[in-house]
Structure 1
Amino acid sequence: MKKIFGIIIMLFGLQFGYAQNSPLKVTVTDIHELKGKIQVSLYNSEASFIKKGKEYKSMVREVKSGTEIFTFKDLPKGEYAVALYHDENSDGKCNTNMLGIPKEGYAFSRNFVPKLSAPKFEDTKFRQEQGNSIIIKMHY
């Protein structure tokens, strides 16, 4: 009987070990134009941060309202950063001026606003715990 009880306890322990992953809800606010698409990219390291094609996960959706919600499911606990842009003309890229400053809306987790250079992972990172929800304000 003790053996069966021990096996049951061990199986419950394994189940809780797998339940460590959780969703991240990203609410994007202050979207000015109801056209184009929003691309939200999730990064899990400094080495990959804001490098095209190096996203940990990414989502793209057509803009339908001034606030859009994106949910990344099944994320392990750890440090992440979010970068997003409003692709108003739907050309698949964040258009910039001659100085490299975005001409389309953009935003980062922790609502970090870069001053004279691109942000660093350290500036925008947050700790993903059980079922995080973050709000990011779009900048134009």
Structure 2
Amino acid sequence: MALSIATTLLLGAAAPAPNEGGALDIAFTGLRSAKGVVRICLVQDPSDFPDCREGKGALKRTLPAANPRIRLEGLAPGDYAIAAIHDANGNARLDTVLGIPREGFGFSRNPAIRFGPPRYKDARFALGADAQMQQVRIRYLL
């Protein structure tokens, strides 16, 4: 009996831990071409939104524009916002002309774009323990 209990404990310890946290599927629509990459930034801190440059807690990913879908797993429940650019020329930045983006961009919840990027609260969504889907529409101004 002691051997049976010890074996059960050892096998239980060797089993992989269940995936903790939520999963987020992100799909991008409206890309003009399959050239370049889509750069995404997932943040919880409003001060890191939308540019994500100094975001210590920000999750940054790059994916091919030819297959603009990604699944992120193990995310802590809470509020998040996504900012994305279609970096068609692969230079790791959003190209602009007189401050107007020349490349595509998008945000979670697809808020209206007025003068400048939306505020965090307009792109914010809640992520729980269940998997969630966000569809981000890439927009072009030029």
> By the TM > 0.5 criterion, same fold?
yes
Distance 1:104 1:113 in 2: 17
Structure 2 unaligned spans of 5+: 1-17
Distance 2:39 2:112 in 1: 18
1:61 is displaced (CA, Å) by 1.5
Task: Map 1:1-140; keep pairs closer than 5 Å.
Answer: 20-51=20-51, 52-54=53-55, 56-65=58-67, 68-98=68-98, 100-129=99-128, 130-140=130-140
Q: Which letter maps to 1:53?
A: E
Aligned twin of 1:8: none
Structure 1 unaligned spans of 5+: 1-17
- Aligned residues: CA RMSD: 2.4
TM-score computed with the length of structure 1 as normaliser: 0.80
1:93 is displaced (CA, Å) by 0.3
CA deviations over 1:23-66 (Å, ceiling 9, x no partner): 1100101111110110011010111112313161011022215x
Q: Which letter maps to 1:61?
A: L
Aligned length: 125
1:107 touches 1:113 (CA, 8 Å); kept in 2? no
Distance 2:41 2:139 in 1: 16
Percent identity of equivalent pairs: 23
Distance 1:50 1:25 in 2: 19
Instruction: Summarize the Cα distance change of 1:33–1:19 in structure 2 as closer, same or farther, 3 Å threshold.
Output: closer
CA deviations over 1:52-81 (Å, ceiling 9, x no partner): 13161011022215xx21111110100000
Moved over 2 A (4+): none
SS at match of 2:25: strand
Instruction: Summarize the Cα distance change of 1:113–1:19 in structure 2 as closer, same or farther, 3 Å threshold.
Output: same
